[in-house]
Amino acid sequence: MPLEDFILTVFCWVDQRLNALLGNRPLRQRGFAPKLTDREVITMEVVGEFFGLDTDVGIWKHLGRHWPYIQV
């Protein structure tokens, strides 16, 4: 499976699970408007763990190096 397909599959899985748990209610209810959705952040964390990246900084650096066309 190509990596892009894996990431999309993880996103769809996260989206389905959050819809089942929360419906349309967002996880974050207060504060400034985020640049990324809850589903995108959770997907990044799951994919980061798959790559063996245990920190947010490591995930951000990996995405910046290997996926520069993704604006995060």
Give dist(CA 42, CA 16) in Å, integer: 12
What number of other Cβ atoms are within 10 A of residue 47's Cβ? 19
Higher pLDDT, 23 or 14: 14
Alpha carbons within 13 angstroms on the beta-carbon side of residue 22 total: 13
Alpha carbons within 13 angstroms on the beta-carbon side of residue 51 total: 20
16-56 tens-digit pLDDT: 999 999 887 777 778 888 888 888 889 989 988 998 988 88
What number of other Cβ atoms are within 10 A of residue 59's Cβ? 19
Give dist(CA 45, CA 30) in Å, integer: 22
Domain-by-domain residue ranges, the chain? Answer: 3-66
pLDDT of res. 54: 83
